[in-house]
Amino acid sequence: MRLIAHRGFAATAAENTIAAFRSAADRADAVEFDVRRCGSGELVVVHDETIDRVTDGVGAVADSSLEALESHTVLDSGEPIPTLEEVLEALPPTVDVDIELKDAGIAADVLEAVDGAENRIVATSFLASELRTIREIDPDQPIGLLVSRRLETPVTTAVELDCDVIGASYWRCLATRVVPRANAVGLEVHAWTIEHRVLATLLESRGVDCVSADRPLRV
C-alpha cells in the first residue's frame, strides 16, 4: 500500500503550494496536484476554477493572467499559485507525481512540461478526451482514469483508453466491484480521500494499491 499526498497534504499545509509539496515528499510515496490553464496561457497548479477559496482574490483562473495570479497568496502560506514547471522543479526525483488535468485542451502542453522529469508521473483526469490525447501522443506515458459518480462502466472505459491506473472514491472501492474488476485486467487502483489508517488497511485487503489522504498516515 502506497500513500499519495492529496494536494500536498491539504489538511496540514496550504494546498497545492511548493512548500506543501516539498514537505509531503518526505512523508509520502507520491504527491498529487491539479493543473489548469490560466488566462495568459501558462499551466498553473490550482484545484478550483476560481481563486476565491484559496486566495484573497476573486475571479476565474481561466480569465486571470499569470501575473495577476502571482499577486495573490495561497491561504496563509505567503506563496503564490505556482506554475506546473515550478512544482516539477521543486520535487525530488524520488517521489512519484500524480497530475490531475482539470481543463480540456491541456494534455499536449502537460506532456511537454513533464518531458525529461525523473519522477514517475501519472497523468490523471476525469476527462476521457485528455487521456485519449496523451495516449495518442505518447503511448508510454502512464495515464489514469478518475471515476466520476456518473460513469457506469469505469473499468471498461479505462481499458478502452489504455490506462495504467484507475482512481475512485474509497466508498466506491468498497461498495462496488470496481477493485476486483480492475485487478483482473491489471489496472493499478488508487482510492481517495481517506482520513484513518484503519480504512487504508481495509482498502489494501480489498486490492487497492494506493490511497490518497489530506494528512500523513502510516499505511
Residue 9 CA, chain-centre distance (Å), reads 12
Tell me the C-alpha distance between 52 and 11, whole Å.
Answer: 18
- Residue 154 phi, psi (nearest 5): -65, -45
Residue 160 has what pLDDT?
Answer: 98
Tell me the C-alpha distance between 157 and 166, whole Å.
Answer: 10
Helix and strand counts by DSSP (H, E) for the chain: 9, 9
Using the structure block, give the residue that is written with the C-alpha cell 485487478. Answer: 183
Strand pairing class (30-37; 43-45): antiparallel
Q: Any idea what the Cα angle at residue 35 is, between residues 199 and 153, rounded to 5°?
A: 55
Range 2-213 classified under CATH 3.20.20.190 = yes
| Domain locations in the chain as residue ranges | 2-213
Helix 128-137 with 107-114: angle, nearest 10 deg:
50
The model carries a pTM of 0.96
In tens digits, the chain (219 residues) has pLDDT values of: 999 999 999 999 999 999 999 999 999 999 999 999 999 999 999 999 999 999 999 999 999 999 999 999 999 899 999 999 999 999 999 999 999 999 999 999 999 999 999 999 999 999 999 999 999 999 999 999 999 989 999 999 999 999 999 999 999 999 999 999 999 999 999 999 999 999 999 999 999 999 999 999 987
Residue 21 has what pLDDT?
Answer: 98
